[in-house]
Structure 1
Amino acid sequence: MAQHPRLHAIPGGRDERPAPDAARPAPPQQTGEPLWREALGRRLRTLRTEQGETLVETAGRAGVSPQYLSEVERGRKDPSSEMIAALAGALGLTLIGLTEQVVRDLHQQRRTAFTTSGARRRTSGPTMYALAA
């Protein structure tokens, strides 16, 4: 901005703002821990496809739009407990039954990740010696 003798910049004005990209917070670091909504979505999609159902059929029984159900299945939406119960009911499950299945999936995913990382750890000799000492 060209300086004019009688004009001055206002503190915190447009010229002092950070660029739009700099203002955006960095995405959270992934810790390897899956999100509940992602595990729930995968389980809902598995159940629906195993029953040979379309998004439209299941969503209609649950009282939601097919677009919303699709977003839940992709882990994009974090549905309320009432919505999860409605989706479970539409798939012939109780809320507890669906929750138990999601928990089993999470345990299985954790065991798989632990086994995979453990295999890498076993190949490193110095780590094993340190643990033995």
Structure 2
Amino acid sequence: MAEQTSRRPSRLRALPGGREDREPEPLWREVLGRRLRALRLNQRETLAETAARAGVSPQYLSEVERGRKEPSSEMIAALAGALGTDLFGLTEQVIDELRSHRLPLRGTSNISLPAHRASNIGRPVHGTSNVVLRAA
């Protein structure tokens, strides 16, 4: 079997002297895993304690926390509940961390969108399967 590799999107990063470098964007599963681990450690819980409440094995939870597994939405909700939050709250925390890594793309303008348009950023455009609005 051929080994699958995932290519990470990257963004240009300015370096001293006017040079540029490409910095890989964090993957959703990695940021989610870090957030889950931070929540668990803040509650001073072991992998086994949290995993038992979520109905998963400690090994699986460890892989999720390390960004090795891409859990289903049902699994994310179970883990969030086991850590005293909900899917919405956990998703907001992950988005906040992703936003902190965001760098402006070279050659894009800083446009501001009306609130009703800004809420659609990252969602597929109606009637299409692959067109997504992106913020600069």
Quote the offset at 1:109 in angstroms.
2.1
Q: Which structure: greater strand fraction?
A: 2
Which structure 2 segments of 5+ residues have no match?
A: 11-23, 105-136
CA distance in 2 between partners of 1:91 and 1:26 (Å): 31
Aligned counterpart, 2:67: 75
TM-superposition CA deviations, 1:19-44 (whole Å, max 9, x none): xxxx7677635521211100100000
Equivalent position of 1:28 in the other structure = 7
Relative to structure 1, is the Cα distance of residues 60 and 30 closer, same or farther in structure 2, using a 3 angstrom cutoff? same
- Higher helix proportion (structure 1 or 2): 1
Match of 1:104 in 2: 96
Is the counterpart of residue 52 in structure 1 residue 31 in structure 2?
no
Q: Deviation per CA, 1:56-93: give whole Å up to 9, x if none.
A: 00000000000000000000000000000000000000
d(CA) in 1 for partners of 2:99, 2:44: 26
Amino acid at match of 1:63: G
Q: Find the aligned partners of 1:87 and 1:24 in 2 and give their Cα distance.
A: 29
**Equivalent residue letter for 1:47:** L
Question: Root-mean-square deviation (CA), in Å?
Answer: 2.5
- Of structures 1 and 2, the larger Rg is shown by 1
Structure 1-normalised TM-score?
Answer: 0.62
Number of aligned residue pairs: 93
Are the structure 2 counterparts of residues 35 and 65 from structure 1 closer, same or farther at C-alpha, using a change threshold of 3 Å? same
Q: Tell me which residue corresponds to 1:88.
A: 80
Consecutive unaligned residues of structure 1, counting only runs of 5 or more, are 1-22, 116-133
| Cα distance change, pair 26–104 in 1 and its aligned pair in 2 (3 A) | closer
